[in-house]
Structure 1
Amino acid sequence: MPAEIREQTTAAPAATPTGDPSPPRDRARVVEWTLFWIGMVSLVFANHKVTWDARRRFDALDQLLSGEGLSEDRYSLVGPLFATPMWLAGQVVGRADGWLAYFNLVVFALGLLALHLLLRGRVDAGLRRRFLLLLVVGSMVPAHISNFYAETFSAMTVGVGLLAACLAATHPWPRRLGWAGMALGTANIAATIPALALTAADRAVRLRRLRYAVPVAAAVLLVLGEAWLRRGDPLDQGYTGERFDYPMALGVLAILFSFGKGLVWFVPGLFLPIRRRLRGLYDPDAVDLWGAYRSWLIYVGAMVAVYANWWAWSGDLYWGPRFFLLAILPAALALAVWLTRPDTRAWVNLVLLGVLSLSVWVAADSSVFESSGAPRCYDKANLQEDYCRFGVVESDLWYPLTDWPGHLAVGRYAQLVFFAVVWAWLAAPVLARLARSANGWLRAHPVPASSQWRW
């Protein structure tokens, strides 16, 4: 297979007004990159802030960089330390917390750039483009880049690192940087060490390589070293007294299926099978794309098992399943694969249309309604958080549909129109296939003349 994977298309060339053929893939490239950049600009106008646990992370970084020493707070400084340039800029030209509110947007943008460079020339161009587009306009990322939390840094460093480790390039530095990213992202959230260990063990067994133990060992040393420096005991992670008494089976079911936090609702593409459909869409001599996808799934699955037993598996009142942001990578790739390699069966296209519609709604909801939670859950005098975790009406995902906010600015309505345009563009081929299937069925099952309706 050639090193440069060209974009595949199943459509016939379209004709321009002058009669010259114009390949549909050229038009698709222009439209989809335009939608991508509009989506990136829209992320700038998210409700950026530094609140709740993010404020504790900021305070710990601010204390260190102000020369007041290390905080003993339990939240890791591994990720926040990379925000030092933005903190310094905030000291010079404005409030530091105002600048750090955009840190995760910068991290996400750099992660997308890294994914683009790692996949360019190694996978089908249309697949790469739709994968990046769906990460912006078909995932829950808008709600997660708007605050100074840890999940975006970990998701991007681990996710990009796992992909880099699957490159077949002759030069080892991309893979080494990938391992470093895995170690840093995992150390930033110590609870994910078992997930990295399981992912590394899977690759080590399959490829007979011991080197995949290196990022695990590095992550463990970072976690122990930070605890030693900040709290005087490498085993003191700052979570003394935390309860791990939630029934594990119920925790797994809740993480997967609860209406307010369930992965099946917030990252539906995660459940699309792609192994056979992925063949031919990438150069296996350049990148093990299936291996990277498999590693993403193992990492996410191990995280589900780790968090299921914790009383705070839901991430409290944060929008959506915040701990599992990494799941947007395999989910977006799977959906992009199905959009790039279509299927003619009607029921398959109905499922694909549902997954696409839900994915775009997740992005729209997390971008426009992220701060519009159900009052029943957020009333400080009478908190009833389980309604937001398990209920349909109070779920972050569905609440705007049942109680439309009356205070939306014009810009938010413009964002909704943009997401509708994205959905229409990506759904058009699926709807066309459904229409052809319906037409074929009607032709194969004509209505008898004797049963035709009359006035």
Structure 2
Amino acid sequence: MPFEDDNRVAARVETGLIVAGFAGMLLLLPRLDWGDGSVRYFQLTALLERGTVPEGKYSMVGPLLSAPLWLIGKIVGSPDWWTLRYNTLLLMGGVAFVWFALRDRLPRPLLRRFILLLVVASMFAHHQLGYNGEMFTAILVLMGTVALLKGKAWPGWVTVAIGVANTPATLPAMALMTARRIWDVRRLRWVLAVCAAAALVMMEAWLRRGSPFATGYEADDHGNRTIMPYSGLPGFSYPIFFGMLSLVFSFGKGLLFFAPGLFLPVRQRLRGLPTGRQLYDVWLAFVIGLLLLYAMYWSWSGSSFWGPRYLLFAAVPAAFALAVRCYRPGDSALADVVTVLALGLSIWAGLNGAVFGDVDVPNVCWPDGAGQYEAPICFYTPEFSALWYPFVAGAKPLIAGQWIYLAYGLSVGVYLLAGPLLRVAGHMRTWVVLGAARIRAVQW
């Protein structure tokens, strides 16, 4: 399908902003080397240095593919420096693949805006700082689904299966996404892709823990008992109703605040863009599957991790929806105002995650390691949300690189908001002119 001519100046500016963002991520921002990411790193180190096969519960599918970075770092004397940039390189590779695969299937201004939002103004900006596994799964599912729509069905499904195998709990999300794709193309054989992902999960469990059914998450895998009525229980014991409410609306973990674009209607604006519509549908199906499962998980919150940790993939359809609404703004003043609010919040979420993170929040919410009363406050109270805590307690001291990235991110935010804000200003001017005309028409 032919699209309108691209604006060369805008193309160069936006490409430059994307490249600058990646350079800042790689070279300016400090890394996060705590939590599950550090466990995965030590498991990889033990495997490569001593040949010790880890028996822990965290998958090694993603970390294994970072082995070349670890080996390069070992040669030059800094394996942690190289390995801790793995997630940033995954994000770079993922968006590069998306660009080259879709540049002739979607309008290029729309595609560039989507990538810029994904890099700078989404939850990916925080996740790329560490070595946790959610980035690997999200990027491979993104690449795999794009390959599907590109006509590379089997490579696409294999890529999705590998990404899902790295986070076994995403199997139900893959099943729902596959069902959506089967409905669209009427090809029942794609059920085999879900079977392949399940087989990979079971194979890893067998090799590492001696049984295909040994997940590593045993009956004693649970959190501390707090004031919350369903805390301290293992597995998927959380009431789904409360879990869904919390994952969507809570100030500290809710998608409404960390990925607001997810809740914007865009279906009508995707008319004439069949590739965009199909991608949005399969992405949304995957996110719904994640929500349904993790709403029942005892650790639905992701504990002290910044934002809705397990729902990183929700940033993909959220960024795409915002990009579509900026590309096709429509005529409604209210819609433009909503777009500005969602876009502004997304920009802040990306900047907050990249620069401020949640380093101070765990010290407040888990002062004794248990957080019997404090942890629920951080999940549900706006003052202790990672998004707003820097305004309450004052920002932590920033290093020079963080200041530079913050200035860059604010510049990107101004660029992204300029168009929607001008449209809102146009609506306001129209209202003022109409109001003045009515006042002049008033007679005694």
Q: State how 1:147-226 maps to structure 2 within 5 Å.
A: 147-168=130-151, 174-226=152-204
1:364 equivalent in structure 2: 351
1: distance between equivalents of 2:107 and 2:294?
A: 36
Q: Is the 8 A contact 1:131 1:336 kept in 2?
A: yes
1:335 and 2:318 are equivalent in the alignment: no
The alignment partner of 2:298 has SS state of coil
The alignment partner of 1:240 has SS state of coil
Kindly state the Cα deviation for residue 437 of structure 1 after the two structures are TM-superposed.
1.3
Change (3 A) 1:445 1:306: same
Kindly state the Cα deviation for residue 408 of structure 1 after the two structures are TM-superposed.
2.1
Q: Is the 8 A contact 1:50 1:100 kept in 2?
A: no
Kindly state the Cα deviation for residue 320 of structure 1 after the two structures are TM-superposed.
1.1
1: distance between equivalents of 2:184 and 2:365?
A: 46
1:413 equivalent in structure 2: 403
Q: Is the 8 A contact 1:180 1:215 kept in 2?
A: yes
Kindly state the Cα deviation for residue 362 of structure 1 after the two structures are TM-superposed.
0.5
Change (3 A) 1:80 1:410: closer
Which is worse superposed, 153-162 or 370-379?
Answer: 370-379
Q: Is the 8 A contact 1:102 1:147 kept in 2?
A: yes
Q: Is the 8 A contact 1:163 1:289 kept in 2?
A: no
2: distance between equivalents of 1:58 and 1:410?
A: 27
The alignment partner of 2:251 has SS state of coil
Change (3 A) 1:378 1:41: farther
1:258 and 2:250 are equivalent in the alignment: yes
1:119 and 2:117 are equivalent in the alignment: no
Q: Is the 8 A contact 1:6 1:125 kept in 2?
A: no
2:8 equivalent in structure 1: 26
Residue 422 of structure 1 aligns with an amino acid whose one-letter code is V
Q: Is the 8 A contact 1:197 1:216 kept in 2?
A: yes
2:418 equivalent in structure 1: 428
The alignment partner of 1:51 has SS state of coil
1:145 equivalent in structure 2: 128
Q: Is the 8 A contact 1:161 1:180 kept in 2?
A: yes
1: distance between equivalents of 2:298 and 2:187?
A: 37
2:360 equivalent in structure 1: 373
The alignment partner of 2:105 has SS state of coil
Residue 37 of structure 2 aligns with an amino acid whose one-letter code is A
Residue 155 of structure 1 aligns with an amino acid whose one-letter code is A
TM (norm. structure 2) is 0.91
Residue 410 of structure 2 aligns with an amino acid whose one-letter code is A
Change (3 A) 1:249 1:381: closer
1: distance between equivalents of 2:425 and 2:13?
A: 23
Kindly state the Cα deviation for residue 333 of structure 1 after the two structures are TM-superposed.
0.8
Structure 1 ranges of 4+ moved more than 4 A: none
Residue 112 of structure 1 aligns with an amino acid whose one-letter code is V
The alignment partner of 1:75 has SS state of coil
2:378 equivalent in structure 1: 388
Kindly state the Cα deviation for residue 371 of structure 1 after the two structures are TM-superposed.
4.4
Q: Is the 8 A contact 1:7 1:125 kept in 2?
A: no
2: distance between equivalents of 1:434 and 1:201?
A: 40
Change (3 A) 1:126 1:47: same
Kindly state the Cα deviation for residue 182 of structure 1 after the two structures are TM-superposed.
0.5
Change (3 A) 1:438 1:227: same
The alignment partner of 1:187 has SS state of helix
How well do the aligned residues superpose, as a CA RMSD in angstroms?
1.9
Q: Is the 8 A contact 2:129 2:354 kept in 1?
A: no
Q: Is the 8 A contact 2:305 2:358 kept in 1?
A: no
The alignment partner of 1:313 has SS state of coil
1:180-233 superposed Cα distances (whole Å, 9 cap, x missing partner): 110001010001111111111221133210231122111111111111111111
2: distance between equivalents of 1:431 and 1:211?
A: 47
Residue 439 of structure 2 aligns with an amino acid whose one-letter code is P
1:358-414 superposed Cα distances (whole Å, 9 cap, x missing partner): 010011101110144234214236622222211110100111122222512343333
Which is worse superposed, 408-417 or 116-125?
Answer: 408-417
TM (norm. structure 1) is 0.89
